[in-house]
Chain A
């Protein structure tokens, strides 16, 4: 027994080291004086300065943030509707189809999702004249489509664990279905909605492949700009950007964790 837990423990230690070593190396070398990312040339914060002056990166980041925000809001709306229908409505026409379309994007390779969306936009442009060309709108639509699936899955699992007699009790006490949803269901699934929103936001902010397919001239997202600079070789500015991202995410998670701890009864 003792032997086995040592084995499991060393596997865990190795696993976590494997997950975090690359991220750690990124952070360390973002403070490197030398342009050669892997040779230590002394401590410096000059790459952070360079990052803040890189208009191309900053512009792309702004575009990405806007797309991610719109995407997250729409995806939460659509995903919640889909989850409510799938969990609460029993059998209805189109249930199988909806369940499939909610599940499939989770495992569909990104290249296919990207290609499929692009071809749709091209055909729609030809037939309907909308969306005219490609850019932020088309990226946002493609992102909403696959983010909806993720949100729906998160909300679905929360709704599924919710005692249905809570909603029945509210109705029994005189609340109409719509009111039941807003007064009882929504507050109880709010954590799932928040998680879904953040997930959708991150997925969109992180996506390279689908954005590359559905983007047009003048609408380069942050991952697209990072990708083109990474292809040319290692750049310390990207290390600085990565460090900032890790910092923001960690702070966000710590704050979220503290909020959850506070809400829990002692």
Chain B
């Protein structure tokens, strides 16, 4: 957990009114279940991310919220009102498209004004709103340009301005940073979050990039095969994945499969076949002996050294093996250590000093250690 909070977050407050309610929604294409009996509640002012590999149903879910797809069954509510069968042009929702979908025959200003004109607002108000939006995305000098006269980053900002111009309750973003190069992308991430906080509009973003989802969201849902595999804050999902899929999908992780052989208080002892060793892990729940279980441990939680520790505590694990690969990434180095003929373990070392004090090299024997509470017991 990201530490104790004074104020309850909306999703923890039982009296908070949800903005978006997705109730048991299913959508199939032929025999393929794009979204499978999915329920989800999103609260006002959240920056919510749907994260998953392509084909996991995240885009279909977003398109159902926008109104481009109709669910086969289930209901969609926005602001307490049923929108399941409303056409896109009657929903209080706007979308920012992956391709940006800027109208090539209209100028930047006309693109932004498009939605306002559909509302039939007076010309003066439209002009004022367009000017505000242009200022928001720092494109005031480009109002008269056509989309094909803009750079990729500028087009992205026009698309954002256009979808925000109507002040929707909810903004849907389909891979909003997907077409930008890496550097621009990092910069834009912060800009998007800033704008979201300033306007107080709820954002739902679809992305396949876990780093993007982690940095930007208040909460996120990891999706696979049309279902949500885990829902939570980025911290919860990273530190407490509750199944093997999520643990493997978010960040790097080592997984040890085994069976429970003992439990005392909040510590499980597990026999791992592949390394033929006993490992300990922290666990809150009662688990029957013999249950198959996996221990997941992140590389940065493992310490690596050239010497074995003389005193191994009861709540510590130690494995040894030969260093097979070293990847120097600048800030950190990653070591692949073979602890069993069929198991490589990844460990990470922060390069805090300019020259490493205990250099490990290929072929060296290395000892890996981690605490029971740093590992995660995964039943699913």
Contacts and interface: CB of A to CB of B under 8 A. Distances in A.
A and B touch in the complex (CB under 8 A): yes
B157 to A, nearest CB: 15
Contacts of A179: 118
Interface string B54-70: 00000000000011100
Nearest to B115: A173
A188 B104 contact: yes
A163 B162 contact: no
B97 A169 contact: yes
A174 B101 contact: no
B99 A172 contact: no
A165 B104 contact: no
A198 to B, nearest CB: 21
Contacts of A188: 103-105
A187 B99 CA distance: 19
Query: Interface majority SS on A: helix, strand, loop or mixed?
Result: helix
A187 B114 CA distance: 15
B34 to A, nearest CB: 16
B169 interface: no
Contacts of A265: 146, 148-149
A171 B149 CA distance: 24
Contact of A176 (B89, B95, B114, B115): B89
Interface string B149-190: 100000000000011001000000000000000000000000
Contacts of A125: none
A172 B149 contact: no
Interface residues on A, range: 10 to 19
Contacts of A184: 103
Given A168-B68, A265-B148, A173 B94 contact: yes
A174 B119 contact: yes
Given A173-B162, A174-B119, A174-B166, A166 B87 contact: no
Nearest to A180: B89
B97 A173 contact: no
A172 B105 contact: no
Contact of B89 (A166, A174, A187): A174
Given A175-B89, A265-B146, A265-B148, A170 B105 contact: no
Contacts of A187: 105
Interface in B71-89: 87-89
A171 B89 contact: yes
Count chain A CB atoms within 10 A of each CB in B90, B105, B115, B118 and give the residue with the most: B118
Given A187-B105, A265-B148, A171 B99 contact: no
Interface residues of B, number: 27
Contacts of B149: 265
Contacts of B89: 171-176
B232 to A, nearest CB: 29
Contact of A168 (B88, B104, B166): B88
A153 to B, nearest CB: 23
Contacts of A174: 89-90, 115, 118-119, 166
B95 A169 contact: yes
A172 B101 CA distance: 11
Nearest to A266: B149
B166 to A, nearest CB: 7
Nearest to B146: A265
B99 A165 contact: yes
A22 to B, nearest CB: 41
A181 to B, nearest CB: 13
A186 B146 CA distance: 18
B103 A172 contact: no
A176 B68 CA distance: 13
A187 B119 CA distance: 21
Contacts of A175: 89, 114, 118
Given A172-B66, A172-B89, A175-B118, A163 B105 contact: no
Nearest to B91: A172
Nearest to A169: B101
A165 B101 contact: yes
Contact of A166 (B67, B103, B119): B103
B101 A168 contact: yes
Contact of A172 (B95, B104, B119): B95
B37 to A, nearest CB: 25
B106 to A, nearest CB: 9
A171 B101 CA distance: 12
A163 B104 CA distance: 11
Interface string B265-301: 0000000000000000000000000000000000000
List 7 tightest A-B contacts by C-beta distance, closest first: A173-B115, A174-B118, A169-B101, A165-B101, A171-B88, A165-B97, A187-B105
25 contacts: A163-B101, A165-B97, A165-B101, A168-B95, A169-B97, A169-B101, A170-B114, A171-B67, A171-B68, A171-B87, A171-B89, A172-B94, A173-B89, A173-B94, A173-B114, A173-B162, A173-B166, A174-B89, A174-B119, A174-B166, A175-B114, A175-B118, A176-B87, A188-B104, A265-B146
Given A163-B99, A165-B97, 10 more contacts: A168-B66, A168-B68, A168-B97, A169-B95, A171-B88, A171-B89, A173-B162, A173-B163, A173-B166, A265-B146
